[in-house]
Amino acid sequence: MAEQNFVDYVKICCRSGAGGAGSRHFARDPINPRGGPDGGDGGRGGHIILRGNKQMWTLLPLKYRKHVIAGDGENGAKNNRFGKFGEDIILEVPLGTIVRDAESNEITAEINEHGQEIIITKGGRGGLGNSHFKSATNQAPQYAQPGEPGLEEWKILELKVLADVGLVGFPNAGKSTLLSAITAATPKIDSYPFTTIVPNLGIVPYHDHLSFIMADIPGIIEDAHIGKGLGHRFLKHIERNAVLLFMVPADAVHLGKEYNILLHELEMFNEELLDKPRVLAITKSDLIDDELKEMLKAEMPKGIKTVYISAATNQGLKELKDLLWSELNPKAE
């Protein structure tokens, strides 16, 4: 059910409201039958607005809402009365939501904070009433501005997971098992590849009532950066993690080669990912002894902090949490 409810991509048509027309009116009363212009301005059309909500974790509420339509502004009126603004439509979205223009694919907005509001489709401006156009040479202007039309734009909303630590590995590397072992999360765990098809989040408790958030990212496969499998859908979540925890199982054919393939996929997708702190965890380490660990040293990649862990026996989990905390809080050391 959780997998069905997790939606990280929607495409919606946003139609903002048209601005109201300015009024072309002249003051008329028994005392002053030839009064001057007193037409008020039209109200602006309604905007389409995104608002960040930290309580949300999916774009599911927008999955079946293909058209979002804001209200039109009201026309101006006599006595310089402004028209009412069109009704704004506010769409609440999870933190980590980005907005793309469907035609250009350009990123136009990004929501990262609770309560943050961004207008993604502006309403049309209201027209000026004829009172604005009175001058010494034109005491009775007979025109007023029409309101601007609203915009109709297709927008793509994508959700990227926001977490402190992101788990990076091939399918069946033990990511979900680790998440269930050190957090209260209950991801689906099985022996077949791609058991995890949506990101799972869990809070890792640390000492002194401290904690950090860990994200189990669906498994990467070779050539994911060119879209193989669901590569782009998976890789984009990794961009929004502070520290990357690479996970390679101890029974892999070649530990160093598997790590380098993962690193290459990230680099080809977004080379800035290589600037993030990285930690390597050798999972399923209960399957090997100290002698085999010594033999594996020649295969291990250089320049990355490594820890041997086993979620089944809790081997190395405390050391792993200490290492991750130090990477997340380098100034605290």
Nearest to 83 by CA among 134, 171, 147: 147
pLDDT at residue 234 in the model: 66
Task: Find where tokens 């999360």 sit.
Answer: 185
Nearest to 24 by CA among 120, 158, 126, 128: 128
pLDDT at residue 1 in the model: 36
- Edge to edge, what strands does the sheet with 211-216 contain? 200-205, 211-216, 163-168, 241-249, 278-283, 305-308
* Cβ partners under 8 Å of residue 147, min gap 6: 18, 19, 20, 21, 22, 42, 44, 45, 72, 73, 75, 124, 125, 126, 127
Task: Find where tokens 């957090």 sit.
Answer: 183
pTM of the model: 0.69
pLDDT in tens, 259-293: 998 888 888 888 888 899 999 999 988 888 888 88
Strand partners of residue 11: 156
pLDDT at residue 189 in the model: 42
pLDDT at residue 220 in the model: 65
pLDDT at residue 113 in the model: 93
pLDDT at residue 159 in the model: 86
- Rounded Cα gap, residues 265 and 225, in angstroms: 6
Nearest to 189 by CA among 203, 168, 204, 175: 175
pLDDT at residue 193 in the model: 39
Domains of the chain (ranges; CATH) run: 1-159 (2.70.210.12), 163-332 (3.40.50.300)
- Rounded Cα gap, residues 248 and 175, in angstroms: 10
- Rounded Cα gap, residues 317 and 282, in angstroms: 11
- Rounded Cα gap, residues 66 and 57, in angstroms: 20
Kindly give the confidence (pLDDT) of every residue in the chain, 333 residues in length, as a single tens digit, with 9 standing for 90 and above: 344 567 888 999 999 999 999 999 998 877 777 778 999 999 999 999 999 998 888 898 998 899 999 999 999 999 999 999 999 999 999 988 999 999 999 999 999 999 999 999 999 999 999 999 998 888 889 999 999 999 999 999 998 877 899 998 887 778 888 888 888 655 444 443 334 446 778 889 998 889 998 888 776 655 544 444 444 566 777 888 889 999 998 888 888 888 998 888 888 888 888 899 999 999 988 888 888 888 887 788 888 999 999 988 999 999 999 999 999 988 655
* Angle at CA of residue 197, ends 196 and 202, nearest 5°: 55
